[in-house]
């Protein structure tokens, strides 16, 4: 068996172990527990990798359909000040339908609007984690950092998954994740398994907390280990 085949087998084993572990986590009841905001930059710059990203994210949520009580809200921005936030859904099919209905449009980033929305949601009912996937930032850094700090005080960490290599976005995303108590991780279109593993890690965190994430990380990829070490 080749090294590539061995790595692929190892990746599959890690995901299978993750699924097995998540299914054993305590079931969460209603009352807003286990809520996760899944936010996407849907501006034109991400069009080239949009289908791939949606495919991977769909696979992830299909794989985690047995998570007890995990409710997911899809948020995205695009075009001229267009920002959408769905209701929280608990069925995989519902989420996939929402994601498949999104297409990319040119426009500027609206990360501050997203973070403000997350703060409003978690003040109403606790949001366990915010996942953001984007490639750039065109907004004042101080405002983003301020809102991120408020989310940190509310114990709603933001996980910033950075597509590409924009240096300014990297610096901003790292500050936002740190101030909120979350984590930063880069990925690119040539590393789909990285994004899949990172999404799995946040799902574990949102459902089972830091201990569950640490357990998952101990047998997962180097990227997940780096993510876990950033969590306060």
Does some domain include residue 67? yes
Of residues 108, 120, 146, 125, the one with CA closest to residue 31: 125
pLDDT at position 31: 39
Structural domain total, the chain: 1
Question: What's the pLDDT tens digit per position in 16-27?
Answer: 554 454 444 444
Does some domain include residue 70? yes
Does some domain include residue 126? yes
Question: What's the pLDDT tens digit per position in 45-67?
Answer: 777 666 766 666 555 554 455 44
Does some domain include residue 208? no
SS3 at position 215: helix
The percent of residues in the chain predicted with pLDDT above 90, rounded, is 41
CA distance 229 to 174: 14
The residues facing 158 across adjacent strands are 130
Reply yes or no on whether the pLDDT at 72 is more than 50.
yes
If one counts every other C-beta atom within 10 angstroms of the C-beta of residue 68, the result is 16
Does some domain include residue 103? no
The CATH number given to whatever domain includes residue 179 is 3.40.50.410
Does some domain include residue 124? yes
Does some domain include residue 20? no
H helices of the chain, in order, are: 3-23, 47-63, 92-100, 111-124, 141-153, 167-180, 192-217, 222-229
pLDDT at position 147: 97
Does some domain include residue 163? yes
This prediction has a pTM of 0.81
Q: For residue 67, what are the domain limits?
A: 31-82+108-183
Sign of the Cα torsion 44, 203, 62, 72 reads negative
């Amino acid at each position: 068996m080749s090294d590539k085949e061995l790595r692929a087998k190892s990746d599959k084993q890690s995901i299978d172990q993750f699924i097995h572990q998540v299914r054993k986590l305590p079931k969460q009841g209603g009352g807003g527990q286990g809520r996760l905001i899944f936010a996407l930059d849907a501006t034109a710059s991400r069009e080239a990798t949009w289908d791939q990203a949606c495919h991977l994210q769909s696979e992830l949520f299909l794989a985690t359909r047995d998570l007890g009580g995990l409710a997911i809200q899809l948020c995205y921005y695009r075009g001229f000040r267009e920002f959408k936030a769905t209701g929280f859904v608990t069925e995989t099919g519902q989420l996939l339908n929402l994601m498949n209905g999104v297409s990319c449009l040119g426009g500027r980033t609206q990360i501050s609007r997203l973070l403000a929305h997350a703060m409003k949601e978690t003040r109403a009912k606790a949001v366990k984690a915010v996942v953001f996937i984007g490639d750039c930032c065109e907004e004042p850094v101080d405002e983003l950092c301020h809102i991120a700090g408020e989310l940190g005080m509310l114990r709603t960490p933001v996980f910033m998954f950075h597509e590409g290599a924009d240096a300014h976005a990297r610096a901003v995303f790292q500050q936002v994740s740190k101030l909120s108590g979350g984590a930063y991780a880069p990925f690119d279109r040539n590393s789909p398994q990285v994004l899949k593993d990172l999404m799995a890690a946040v799902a574990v965190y949102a459902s089972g907390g830091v201990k569950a994430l640490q357990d998952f990380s101990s047998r997962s990829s180097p990227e997940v280990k780096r993510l876990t070490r950033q969590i306060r």
